[in-house]
Structure 1
Amino acid sequence: MQTVDVLVVGAGLAGLHTARLLARQRLKVMVVDRRRSLSTGIRTTGIFVRRTLDDFDLPDHLLGPGVRDVLLYPPSRRAPIRLASDRDEYRVADMAAVYEHARRAAESAGARVLLGVRYVDASMGVVRFAGAGPVTARFVVGADGARSRVARDLGLDVNRRFLVGAELVHPIASGTTTPAFHCVLDPRVAPGYLGWVIDDGRHAHVGVAGYPEAMRTGIRHLLDAFAADAPGRAAPAGQVERRGGPIPVGGVLRRLACPAGLLVGDAAGAVSPLTAGGLDPCLRMSELAAAVAAGYLRTGDRRVLSRYDGDALRRRFRGRLLLRRVFAGIRSPAAAEAAVTVLRGRAGRALAARILFGDGSFPDVGPRPADPPIDRPCR
């Protein structure tokens, strides 16, 4: 039976980034994912915010043009609030290509990435799969999504509060639109969240998300109805792609690590409970997780795992959890119209700009560690 230092379950951005960092620490790392291609089963819109673009070395050629303007619409869709930044606040990535880029980076660092291998369970250090033989792993990293099976097998916390989202993605003819991010607050379309259109001049993403129990007609029906007359939509210039899936919005989980492993990405609840953005927190928490896992495996000292403390991370975003509850309480079009009216004032616009254009990150895990030197991985 093959033995590895770290098994990473899930080849999304969080899993691949964690794997790369661990492999650079001379650990023997294996990544498995049930998908046979990283271009299938994409769940994220792929919106990277300015703070992520500033702090991480993302492949520029895989990112669309910068987006500086945000328009906030009430249910009536009349007189949107326009917020404009003097900097590029958002760029939308080609996520299939970003995942492939992350895969190559992990493999270059020494990690082994296996696709078409489905995680079954883990017990006493032995991990079983469908599609491959079992392995013995000193440590397991759960990067297997919002409804993580690894979390259950390791006895760690699991996500319990979700939005469900879906979107259409289509190319648009170059030069026919101005890049902008359109957000519609309408509980008939997206109860507890937003409908959105983000157009970077190359592709348009049209989506809705909300609490599943409030989506009486179903997410696909709501998406199709919204897409028919969504603000800022552009005529498709090619094939349309559908995406979707659950989005955890209960905040970072409290119990994230144990001597057998830890959680990253959506599995850890590393998604802003307010904006439902997950790309920035998944990268930041993955760096902390990799440092903690490497330190623990190097020393065997369980106290190292206490650095990956969900309770400490949760204390830093109480305001976002409060605003999530406020958002969830907007249940009627009249309440949504009133909320947008409040945002039209000076204080409301300042709050909206702070949320949409802010310099903060979620969660704040402290200074980013410098990349360690690349060495040949142990085999």
Structure 2
Amino acid sequence: MRTVDVLVVGAGLAGLRTACLLARRGLDVMVVDRRRSLSAGIRTTGIFVRRTLDDFDMPEHLLGPGVRDVLLYPPSRRAPIRLTSDRDEYRVADMAAVYEHAHRAAESAGARVFLGVRYVDASRGSVRFVGAEPVTARFIVGADGARSRVARDLGLDVNRRFLVGAELVYPIAPGTTAPAFHCVLDPRIAPGYLGWVIDDGRHAHVGVAGYPNAMRTGIRHLLDAFAADAPGTTPPAGPVERRGGPIPVGGVLRRLACPAGLLVGDAAGAVSPLTAGGLDPCLRMSELAAAVTAAYLRTGDQRMLSQYDGNALRTRFRGRLLLRRAFAGIRSPAAAEAAVTALRGRAGRALTARILFGDGSFPEVNPHLADLAIDHPD
């Protein structure tokens, strides 16, 4: 039976990024994903915020035009609030190409990536799959999504609060749309969240998300109804792609690591509770996870794992968790209309701009820990 230093379950952005960083540190890394193609089953719109683009090297050719304007609509769709930044705040990536880029980077660093291999379970270091022979792993990284099987097998915390999102992707003719992010606050189509339209220069992404128990008519029906007259786009006859899946919005989980492994990305709840954005925290937590994992495997000191502390990370989201609860309480169109009206004032616009354009992020890798983990294992 083959032995590896680290098994990463899930070849999304979090898993591939973590695998790449670990392989660069000289560890023997194996990645498995049940998908046969990384372009299948994409769940994210692919919106990268300015802070991510400033701090991480994203390939320019995989990103759409910069977006500076956000329009927030009440249920009536009349007189939206327009917020304009003096900088590019958002860019939508070609996520299939981003995953493939991350795949190549991981393999170039020395990680071995196996697609079409489904993780079954882990017991006493032995990991079983469908589609491959079992392996023995010194450490497992769970990057297997919001409903992580690895988290349950390792006895770590699991996500319990979700939105469910769905999106249609329509082709658009280049140069026919102005870059803008349209957000509709209407509990009839997106209870507790938003409907949105944003484009990447080639495709318009039209989506809705909300609490599953409040979407009584079904998310597909709500999405199709919203897409028929969504602001900011005139969709053609049919979409070229449908996306969707659960979005954890309970904040970063408390117990993220144990001597057998740790969690990253959606599996760790690394999604902003308020905005449901997960790409920025995904990348940042992957940096921290790789540093912690390498340091732990190099030294055998379990105290290294305490650096990957969900309780500490949750403090960065305390305010957004409170706002998430307030947002979830907007249950009627009249209440949503009133909420947008309240945001039209100076204080409301400042709060909205801070949420949409703010520089806050998490976590930053402890420099001492990062330096410690750079050395190759003895």
> TM-score of the superposition, structure 2-length normalised?
0.96
Cα distance in 2 between the residues matched to 1:40 and 1:354: 35
Tell me the residue number matched to 2:106: 106
Cα distance in 1 between the residues matched to 2:322 and 2:65: 33
Tell me the residue number matched to 2:276: 276
C-alpha displacement at 1:200, in angstroms?
3.6
Tell me the residue number matched to 2:40: 40
C-alpha displacement at 1:238, in angstroms?
7.9
Give CA-to-partner distance per residue, 1:66-89, whole Å, 9 cap, x none. Answer: 011000000000000000011110
| 2:288–2:364 contact (8 Å) kept in structure 1 | no
Cα distance in 2 between the residues matched to 1:370 and 1:227: 49
Specify the code of the residue in structure 1 equivalent to 2:232: G
Specify the code of the residue in structure 2 equivalent to 1:12: G
| 1:171–1:238 contact (8 Å) kept in structure 2 | no
Tell me the residue number matched to 2:331: 331
C-alpha displacement at 1:203, in angstroms?
1.5
| 2:71–2:83 contact (8 Å) kept in structure 1 | yes
Specify the code of the residue in structure 1 equivalent to 2:247: I
| 2:71–2:182 contact (8 Å) kept in structure 1 | yes
| 1:67–1:200 contact (8 Å) kept in structure 2 | no
Give CA-to-partner distance per residue, 1:332-368, whole Å, 9 cap, x none. Answer: 0010001000110000000000000111114555669
| 1:5–1:27 contact (8 Å) kept in structure 2 | yes
Tell me the residue number matched to 2:16: 16
Q: CA 1:366/1:280 → structure 2, altered by over 3 Å: closer, same or farther?
A: farther
| 1:71–1:181 contact (8 Å) kept in structure 2 | yes
Report whether the alignment pairs 1:320 with 2:297: no
Specify the code of the residue in structure 1 equivalent to 2:73: Y
Question: For residues 335-350 of structure 1, what are the structure 2 equivalents within 5 Å?
Answer: 335-350=335-350
Tell me the residue number matched to 1:56: 56
Question: For residues 209-228 of structure 1, what are the structure 2 equivalents within 5 Å?
Answer: 209-228=209-228
Cα distance in 2 between the residues matched to 1:75 and 1:7: 47
C-alpha displacement at 1:201, in angstroms?
3.1
Tell me the residue number matched to 2:265: 265
Q: CA 1:178/1:370 → structure 2, altered by over 3 Å: closer, same or farther?
A: farther
Tell me the residue number matched to 1:249: 249
Of all paired residues, the percent bearing the same amino acid is: 88
SS in 2 for 1:280: helix
C-alpha displacement at 1:317, in angstroms?
1.6
Specify the code of the residue in structure 2 equivalent to 1:54: D
C-alpha displacement at 1:170, in angstroms?
1.6
Tell me the residue number matched to 2:297: 297
Question: For residues 146-161 of structure 1, what are the structure 2 equivalents within 5 Å?
Answer: 146-161=146-161
Q: CA 1:108/1:237 → structure 2, altered by over 3 Å: closer, same or farther?
A: farther
Specify the code of the residue in structure 2 equivalent to 1:155: G
Tell me the residue number matched to 2:6: 6
Cα distance in 1 between the residues matched to 2:364 and 2:223: 33
Tell me the residue number matched to 1:190: 190
Q: CA 1:90/1:374 → structure 2, altered by over 3 Å: closer, same or farther?
A: farther
Q: CA 1:371/1:283 → structure 2, altered by over 3 Å: closer, same or farther?
A: farther
Specify the code of the residue in structure 2 equivalent to 1:203: H
Q: CA 1:239/1:336 → structure 2, altered by over 3 Å: closer, same or farther?
A: closer
- Which segment is superposed worse, 41-50 or 225-234? 225-234
Give CA-to-partner distance per residue, 1:3-49, whole Å, 9 cap, x none. Answer: 10000000000000000000011000000000000000000000000
Cα distance in 2 between the residues matched to 1:366 and 1:68: 32
| 2:187–2:331 contact (8 Å) kept in structure 1 | yes
Specify the code of the residue in structure 1 equivalent to 2:113: V
SS in 2 for 1:273: coil
Question: For residues 88-167 of structure 1, what are the structure 2 equivalents within 5 Å?
Answer: 88-167=88-167
SS in 2 for 1:344: coil
C-alpha displacement at 1:370, in angstroms?
7.9
Cα distance in 2 between the residues matched to 1:15 and 1:82: 36
| 1:172–1:237 contact (8 Å) kept in structure 2 | no
Cα distance in 2 between the residues matched to 1:372 and 1:95: 30
4+ long deviations beyond 6 Å: 370-375
Cα distance in 2 between the residues matched to 1:69 and 1:329: 27
SS in 2 for 1:330: coil
Q: CA 1:151/1:195 → structure 2, altered by over 3 Å: closer, same or farther?
A: same
Give CA-to-partner distance per residue, 1:283-340, whole Å, 9 cap, x none. Answer: 0001000000000000001111000000111122210100000000000001000100
Unaligned stretches of 5+ residues in structure 2:
none
C-alpha displacement at 1:371, in angstroms?
12
Q: CA 1:183/1:364 → structure 2, altered by over 3 Å: closer, same or farther?
A: farther
Q: CA 1:184/1:42 → structure 2, altered by over 3 Å: closer, same or farther?
A: same
Q: CA 1:227/1:370 → structure 2, altered by over 3 Å: closer, same or farther?
A: farther
Tell me the residue number matched to 2:199: 199
> TM-score of the superposition, structure 1-length normalised?
0.96
Cα distance in 2 between the residues matched to 1:339 and 1:262: 39
Q: CA 1:279/1:163 → structure 2, altered by over 3 Å: closer, same or farther?
A: same
Cα distance in 1 between the residues matched to 2:374 and 2:113: 21
Specify the code of the residue in structure 1 equivalent to 2:57: D
Cα distance in 2 between the residues matched to 1:83 and 1:63: 22
